[in-house]
């Protein structure tokens, strides 16, 4: 029987890969980041550090970090690791403009596991 990670396609992004991709994408401390399959929040955690560094402050702005995760247990892990992030538990591919009102507007960076 396949395990949950295999079934859901879960793979934790290595920090150096996340840093490489974020380094290309993030430009301003006000950038809003969306990870449509955030898992436990590896990309969002690194994005928080990058945004804090870009803004020369202690942390990313409260509206900067957004994630969507299908697996409820993994979504709880992401929210616990990143209390300042907004984590939605749903299937990103079924979101419509009407159902995505929780996403609160546009994003500057859409990023995820390569």
The rounded mean pLDDT for the chain is 86
Check residue 58 and give its pLDDT: 84
Query: What are the tens digits of pLDDT across the range 41-87?
Result: 999 999 999 999 999 888 888 889 999 999 999 999 999 999 999 99
pTM of the model: 0.83
Asked if the structure places residue 39 within a domain, the reply is: yes
- The parent domain of residue 21 ranges over 14-110
Q: Answer yes or no: is 7 within a domain.
A: no
CATH of the domain at 95: 3.40.50.150
- Mean pLDDT is lowest, of 11-20, 35-44, 84-93, for 11-20
Domain annotation covers residue 54: yes
Structural domains of the chain, count: 1
Residue 12 has pLDDT above 80, yes or no: no
Output the 3-class SS for the chain. CCCHHHHHCCCCCCHHHHHHHHHHHCCCCCCCEEECCCCCCHHHHHHHHHHHHHHCCCCCCCCCEEEEECCHHHHHHHHHHCCCCEEEECCHHHCCCCCCHHHCCCCCEECCCC
Does residue 73 belong to any structural domain of this protein?
A: yes
* Domain assignment of residue 3, yes or no: no
Please report whether residue 4 resides in a domain: no
pLDDT of residue 10: 60
């Amino acid at each position: 029987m396949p395990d949950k990670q295999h079934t859901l396609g879960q793979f934790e992004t290595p920090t150096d890969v996340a840093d490489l991709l974020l380094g290309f994408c993030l430009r301003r401390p006000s950038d809003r980041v969306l990870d449509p399959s955030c898992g436990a929040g590896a990309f969002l955690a690194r994005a928080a550090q990058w945004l804090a560094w870009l803004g020369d402050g202690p942390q990313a702005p409260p509206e900067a970090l957004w994630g969507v995760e299908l697996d409820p247990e993994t979504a709880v892990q992401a929210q616990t690791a990143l209390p300042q992030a907004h984590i939605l538990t749903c299937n990103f591919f079924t979101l419509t403009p009407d159902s995505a009102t929780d996403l609160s507007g546009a994003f500057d960076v859409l990023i995820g596991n390569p």
